[in-house]
């Protein structure tokens, strides 16, 4: 199969985030293979990449940021963005274009029309619950048919797109990190840890409420939520209102989250919805006992309930509290789940996920 050697990748930024992490891993892998990789971003480059990129990757910030509230109202702005993006795409001389995330996908598909280059787009969350607005949703349904392939993470998300994408849709999960070089000392801290952008969809208010329910019965335990975002003020108010200010901590962003994971004992994911949560893969790769909300997509494709983690109904603080109480009170269960959790490094290895991407790109390269 003829694999393309010149790849142009497009994403909103290479800041902290699950999609950004996956694209960075793939970009580095392709660069290590000797391919020419251009990475176009919509930000202005004032912030350095959160994830390390190989020096050979041609990172090009295009300063196109500024999400429009709806498609029609941003016609002029989006026309300018598409013109600049089209110029950058053409100048990169790609053999294949790969775009990540909904609005970026729409603009990339429009900007690349007529370039006669295969375009692969990737959805990174569940479109049934992640709202982009009616105008953008209509634009997505119109433009996605232009793509040569669309990559999603689960079969359940695939079903959402099959009515208008048919055989163009491909399921490729996110890769897990490599296994740690040395075992983690999870008994070092009585810490329940979580991580993500501080936004409503992550359900951190439910996690704080769940922890507050068990805090009196579990003295010495603490909750740490790594991340930053617009919900910080509301979450801090909740921590004070529930009287757990000395037990719940929101330390902000961390460039070494896996070091924190390896020092903790329990990981909790409380999201209302997800695509294929990287943070869950990272926690399990560190051998953490995990409890996760059973979102419509994502966690149930990673966690084998009762084998390598616990699943609880999404949006249910009481069920989350019960699972946390069970894990904090049972060291043997924590150790057993943590041992089994390490299998994600084999089930979703970068080598295996990379091969799936390579196979897709090679098949596209064979098309006349």
Q: Is the pLDDT of residue 146 over 60?
A: yes
Q: Does 183 map to a domain?
A: no
Give residue-wise pLDDT tens across range 243-254.
999 999 999 988
Q: What is the pLDDT of residue 200?
A: 95
Specify whether the CB–CB gap between 153 and 186 falls below 8 A. no
Q: What is the pLDDT of residue 131?
A: 67
Give residue-wise pLDDT tens across range 262-283.
889 999 999 999 989 999 999 9
Q: Does 249 map to a domain?
A: yes
Instruction: Report the mean per-residue pLDDT for the chain.
Output: 90
- Domain count along the chain: 2
The tokens describing 94, both together, are 């790609």
Tell me which residue range forms the domain holding 315.
Answer: 191-347
Q: Is the pLDDT of residue 182 over 80?
A: no
Q: Which of 120, 58, 53 is nearest to 356 (CA)?
A: 120
Give residue-wise pLDDT tens across range 338-367.
999 999 999 999 999 999 999 999 999 776
**297 in the same domain as 235:** yes
**240 in the same domain as 107:** no
Q: Say how many C-beta atoms besides its own lie within 10 A of residue 268's C-beta.
A: 31
Q: What is the pLDDT of residue 165?
A: 79
Q: Does 184 map to a domain?
A: no
**362 in the same domain as 338:** no
Q: Which of 147, 95, 89, 96 is nearest to 123 (CA)?
A: 147
**331 in the same domain as 235:** yes
**258 in the same domain as 112:** no
Give residue-wise pLDDT tens across range 298-311.
999 999 999 999 99
Q: Is the pLDDT of residue 204 over 90?
A: yes
Q: Does 353 map to a domain?
A: yes
| Angle CA 360–366–368, to nearest 5 | 130
Q: In the chain, what are the helix, strand and coil shares in percent, each to the nearest 5?
A: 45, 15, 40
Task: Give CA separation, 281 vs 22, 28, 109, 176, 285, in Å.
Answer: 12, 19, 30, 5, 6
Q: What is the pLDDT of residue 331?
A: 95
Q: Does 66 map to a domain?
A: yes
Q: Give the CATH number of the domain where residue 79 resides.
A: 3.40.50.2000
**340 in the same domain as 197:** yes
Q: What is the pLDDT of residue 38?
A: 98
Q: Does 185 map to a domain?
A: no
**233 in the same domain as 294:** yes
The tokens describing 283, both together, are 């926690």
Q: What is the pLDDT of residue 132?
A: 67
Q: Does 181 map to a domain?
A: no
The separation between CA 61 and the C-alpha centre of its own chain, rounded to angstroms, equals: 21
**333 in the same domain as 357:** no
**Orientation of helix 102-111 relative to helix 75-92, angle to 10°:** 70
**Separate counts of helices (H) and strands (E) for the chain:** 14, 13
Q: Which of 145, 160, 138, 147 is nearest to 70 (CA)?
A: 138
Specify whether the CB–CB gap between 297 and 154 falls below 8 A. yes
| Percent of residues, the chain, with pLDDT higher than 90 | 71
Q: What is the pLDDT of residue 294?
A: 96
**225 in the same domain as 104:** no
CA distance linking residue 125 with residue 281, whole number of Å: 15
CA distance linking residue 287 with residue 54, whole number of Å: 28
Contacts of 237 (CB under 8 A, 6+ apart): none
Q: Is the pLDDT of residue 1 over 50?
A: no
**269 in the same domain as 124:** no
Helices assigned H by DSSP within the chain: 18-32, 75-92, 102-111, 134-143, 155-165, 204-215, 232-241, 257-263, 278-285, 299-302, 317-328, 331-341, 344-347, 350-366
For 68-77, 198-207, 270-279, 299-308, which range has the lowest pLDDT when averaged over its residues?
68-77
Q: What is the pLDDT of residue 82?
A: 86
Q: What is the pLDDT of residue 119?
A: 97
Q: Is the pLDDT of residue 117 over 70?
A: yes
CA distance linking residue 286 with residue 263, whole number of Å: 9
Is residue 34 exposed (0-12), middle (13-18) or buried (19+ Cβ within 10 Å)? exposed
Specify whether the CB–CB gap between 262 and 286 falls below 8 A. yes
Q: What is the pLDDT of residue 317?
A: 97
CA distance linking residue 291 with residue 316, whole number of Å: 13
| Percent of residues, the chain, with pLDDT higher than 70 | 92
Q: Does 30 map to a domain?
A: yes
Q: What value does the mean pLDDT take over residues 100-113?
A: 92
**211 in the same domain as 256:** yes
**218 in the same domain as 123:** no
């Amino acid at each position: 199969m003829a694999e393309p050697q010149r790849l142009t990748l497009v994403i909103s930024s290479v800041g902290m985030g699950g999609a950004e992490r996956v694209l960075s891993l793939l970009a580095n892998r392709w660069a290590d293979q000797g391919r020419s990789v251009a990475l176009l971003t919509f930000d202005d480059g004032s912030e350095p990449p959160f994830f390390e990129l190989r020096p050979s990757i041609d990172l090009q910030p295009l300063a196109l940021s500024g999400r429009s509230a709806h498609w029609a109202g941003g016609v002029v702005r989006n026309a300018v963005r598409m013109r600049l993006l089209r110029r950058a795409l053409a100048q990169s001389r790609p053999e294949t274009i790969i775009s990540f995330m909904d609005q970026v996908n729409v603009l990339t598909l429009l900007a690349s029309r007529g370039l006669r280059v295969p375009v692969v787009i990737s959805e990174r969350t569940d479109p049934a619950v992640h709202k982009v607005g009616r105008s953008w949703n209509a634009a997505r349904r119109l433009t996605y048919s232009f793509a040569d392939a669309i990559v999603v993470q689960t079969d359940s998300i695939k079903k959402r797109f099959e009515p208008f994408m048919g055989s163009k849709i491909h399921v490729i999960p996110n890769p897990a990190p490599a296994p740690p070089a040395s075992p983690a000392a999870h008994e070092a801290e009585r810490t329940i840890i979580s991580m993500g952008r501080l936004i409503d969809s992550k359900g951190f208010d439910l996690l704080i409420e769940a922890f507050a329910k068990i805090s009196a019965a579990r003295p010495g335990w603490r909750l740490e939520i790594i991340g930053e975002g617009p919900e910080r003020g509301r979450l801090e108010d909740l921590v004070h209102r529930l009287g757990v200010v000395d037990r719940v901590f929101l330390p902000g962003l961390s460039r070494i989250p896996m070091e924190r994971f390896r020092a903790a004992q329990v990981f909790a994911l409380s999201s209302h919805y997800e695509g294929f949560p990287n943070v869950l893969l990272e926690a399990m790769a560190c051998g953490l006992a995990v409890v996760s909300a059973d979102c419509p997509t994502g966690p149930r494709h990673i966690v084998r309930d009762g084998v390598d983690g616990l699943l609880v109904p999404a949006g249910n603080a009481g069920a989350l509290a019960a699972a946390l109480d069970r894990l904090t009170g049972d060291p043997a269960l924590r150790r057993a789940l943590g041992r089994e959790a390490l299998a994600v490094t084999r089930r979703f290895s970068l080598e295996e996920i990379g091969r799936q991407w390579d196979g897709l790109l090679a098949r596209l390269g064979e098309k006349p």
